[in-house]
Amino acid sequence: MKWGMALRLGALLASFSVFAAILAGYYTFDSSRDRLQGRAERSLMATTQVLARHMQAGFGTVARDTSFLANVAALEHDRGRLAEVFKASLAAHPSYQQIRFISARDYGLELVRIDRRGGVPVRIADEALQEKAHFPFVFEALGLAAGEVYVSEFGINHEGSSEEEALPVFNMASPVVQGGQVRGVVVVRVAAEPFLQNFNAALPAPYGFFLSNRWGDFLVHPDATRTFGFDRGQRILIQEAFTPVAALIEGRALEAVLSQQGTDDDEARVFSFVRMPFGGKDEGRFMVVGLSQPLAAVQGEVVDLGRSILKILLVLSLVGVALAAWVSRVVTQPLQAMAAATQAFSQGLPHGELPVARKDEVGDLARSFQDMEQQIGRQITELNASRDAMAHLAHHDALTGLPNRRMFEQRLAQVLELSRRSGRDCALLFVDLDDFKAINDTRGHAVGDLVLQAVARTIVGAVRQVDTVARLAGDEFTVLCENVDSEEAALQIAAKLEQAFEPPLDIEGQPFPVRASIGVSLFPRDAQDAHMLLANADAAMYRVKQGHRRRV
């Protein structure tokens, strides 16, 4: 019985079926794990978003209380009764540490101050009241309208407190407006730990809670030693611990999910972070809120499935190995030449003769491959030619063939860097045609295009071969001159260029007078960067044009 390619291919497909079963089992396990992890990540992100919204609502509650107390202070003239209102608010909110009514006069003198001491609201005696005008929560709040609230950044309280009282806090302040005039501010100081405890207390034990300010400093971390590092002269940043969070800090993303492998002392975890707006709507401030969860809890459900699939994979793998050995002897030998040719072609190397003379399926495949190779070769040649043309168009002006603005800016950056290294000056000439609009209006745009082409040839012919001539736009041209040792050398180049425009240009055999204004700027004398160098040359050109004299 003759073993044709059909029978051999049938046997090969049979072995592929076995391997397909193995791959299907593997990918079933892998996709199940990925789906479970993806579901857990989405769930963790949703939990983080809900937590952020609850925190925003908590900040909003404090803001409303602050605004309400400011309204009370505006209506209540008896400081004793106002103090009782402040005490009642402290008693109702365990996280409030202090409420003050601070005057807009007398350097921000405290008029009423209630502190929480030993868990009890206590009014501070008048002789112990202090001036607070230098604190941001005073002078920032004084500039707000009635009902608006200023929110400070989280920080450690060092405002006249002992070390035992130096705890993480933030302040909210609202102006007290009476008769259309700001009389002072009401400031509510909130202890960060009990305030935030209201939000993360309900999280299960495996969850970790993170919070950072807009610069990335940790405010909350499972490891308390990593928080408020800036108060100890350190910067412990969330974007350094979790690199993808840098996109949130920089405003390039609003949320991020990532996984980190564990160490000897810690297990692998999955993390989610969201960017939470913080403070006034127009301030652009924010905080980063994050949660973490052990990765083992995410993948635990797939362990049993993996064990069952593994048993099946072991059996099918043994069968597959036996079939592969048999198929390799029967089928692969005739295809070795094709495999070698394919590999050489993929690497751009020459290869041996293909079995195109065969009359079976291998011969058909070899002939098809040969045709494909020839077609791909032709297409690659055409593609390279097209790519070269596109590259030239991307960096050159289509009308004059000169470098365009994009290529000029690249070349200018290179020349300035070389000038900085070598210490030799360079010059930039800005050339603008006089009354070019009149040429377009009276002679037509076709003649205007011919004039621009002739101008380009004139400029190229007048300057040095090492100089770069470019067309920026319209009738604006530039000449970049390297290694210009002095102002006189630059002016000599400009003078030569000006002389080139004295005779009329040749436009289709007819003389055509054209004049140009030229501005010159030197690097580094006139500018320290490319933008200012070009701007100064442009400005110099306009001074020439406004002076109505033919000079550089």
Domain that residue 278 falls in? 198-300
Q: What is the 3-state secondary structure (H, E, C) of 64-117?
A: HHHHHHHHHHHHCCCHHHHHHHHHHHHHHCCCEEEEEEEECCCCCEEEEEEEEE
Last residue of a domain, one of 194, 219, 245: 194
Supply the pLDDT for residue 218. Answer: 93
Supply the pLDDT for residue 316. Answer: 66
User: Is residue 448 exposed (0-12), middle (13-18) or buried (19+ Cβ within 10 Å)?
Assistant: buried
In terms of pLDDT, which residue wins out, 348 or 181? Answer: 181
Region 277-300 average pLDDT: 82
First to last CA, the chain: 95
Per-residue pLDDT of 424-446, as tens digits, reads 889 999 999 888 888 888 888 88
Do residues 189 and 213 share a domain?
no
What is the CATH classification number for the domain harbouring 493?
Answer: 3.30.70.270
For 503-537, letters b (16+ CB in 10 Å) and e give eebebeeeeeebebbbbbbbbeebbeebeebbebb
What is the CATH classification number for the domain harbouring 94?
Answer: 3.30.450.20
Helix (H, G, I), strand (E, B) or coil at 220: strand
Q: Is the pLDDT of residue 134 over 70?
A: yes
Q: Is residue 28 part of a domain?
A: no
Q: Is residue 102 part of a domain?
A: yes
Supply the pLDDT for residue 26. Answer: 66
Do residues 71 and 188 share a domain?
yes
Name the domain count of the chain.
3
Q: Is residue 259 part of a domain?
A: yes
Do residues 149 and 239 share a domain?
no
Contact between 228 and 156 under an 8 Å Cβ cutoff? The reply is yes
- Catalytic pick among 475, 485, 506, 538: 475
pLDDT bucket at 300, cuts 50 / 70 / 90: low
pLDDT bucket at 466, cuts 50 / 70 / 90: confident
Do residues 183 and 76 share a domain?
yes
Supply the pLDDT for residue 272. Answer: 93
> Mean pLDDT score of the chain, rounded to an integer?
83
Do residues 438 and 531 share a domain?
yes
Do residues 451 and 523 share a domain?
yes
Strands 150-151 and 208-212: unpaired
Do residues 174 and 247 share a domain?
no
What is the CATH classification number for the domain harbouring 213?
Answer: 3.30.450
Asked if residue 136 has a cis previous peptide bond (ω within 30° of 0), the answer is no
Contact between 175 and 199 under an 8 Å Cβ cutoff? The reply is no
> Active site includes 34?
no
Supply the pLDDT for residue 483. Answer: 85
Q: Is residue 97 part of a domain?
A: yes
Last residue of a domain, one of 265, 300, 335: 300
Helix (H, G, I), strand (E, B) or coil at 251: coil
Do residues 225 and 190 share a domain?
no
pLDDT bucket at 337, cuts 50 / 70 / 90: low
Q: Is residue 382 part of a domain?
A: no
Contact between 517 and 435 under an 8 Å Cβ cutoff? The reply is no
Do residues 173 and 79 share a domain?
yes
Q: Is residue 542 part of a domain?
A: yes
Per-residue pLDDT of 202-214, as tens digits, reads 677 678 899 999 9
171 phi/psi in degrees, rounded to 5: -120, 145
Do residues 102 and 163 share a domain?
yes
Do residues 431 and 543 share a domain?
yes
For 259-287, letters b (16+ CB in 10 Å) and e give ebeeeeeeeebbbbbbbbebbeeeeeebb
Contact between 44 and 272 under an 8 Å Cβ cutoff? The reply is yes
Q: Is residue 440 part of a domain?
A: yes
Per-residue pLDDT of 67-100, as tens digits, reads 999 999 999 889 999 999 999 999 999 999 999 9
Q: Is residue 211 part of a domain?
A: yes
Last residue of a domain, one of 262, 280, 300: 300
Q: Is the pLDDT of residue 39 over 90?
A: no
What sign has the CA pseudo-torsion 223, 226, 227, 231? positive
Do residues 86 and 186 share a domain?
yes
SS3 content of the chain, % helix, strand, coil (to 5): 50, 20, 25
